[in-house]
Amino acid sequence: MTIFTKIIKGEIPSNKIAEDKDHFAFLDISPASKGHVLVIPKQEVDYIFDLDDELLQSLIRFAKPIAKALDRAFKPLRTGIIVEGLEVPHAHIHLIPVYTKTQDFSLGKKVDYSDEKMAEIAAAIRRELK
């Protein structure tokens, strides 16, 4: 069982953004920028391109309103997407708000927020999803 499955099951706390029967989204605990969200299928599959076509399509459809909520909540230049998938053997996409044209848009760059600030960020995104 991956750490993401434990998060889905509530065994590990997270700043949940959204959930439906097939998908789960939450703040990355080591964000590359303010509002960095991970979007995952609930099905535990390591490699994103091993997801069946319907689940891969629905993952992107599930991520789109979250990206738009990030845009409304934090006013980045845009929200980018990274699919690397090496950190955890569970398919996932990173939604990363890009605030400047020279922003280091990589998973190696981390910003540090308190637990309270992370909860505020998550609440701001959830408000924009409604």
In CATH terms, the fold of domain 3-129 is HIT family, subunit A (3.30.428)
Give the number of other CB atoms < 10 A from CB of residue 82.
Answer: 15
d(CA 32, CA 99): 11
Q: What is the pTM of this model?
A: 0.93
Q: Which residues are catalytic?
A: 92
pLDDT in tens, 62-106: 999 999 999 999 999 999 999 987 888 999 999 999 998 887 767
Domain extents in the chain: 3-129
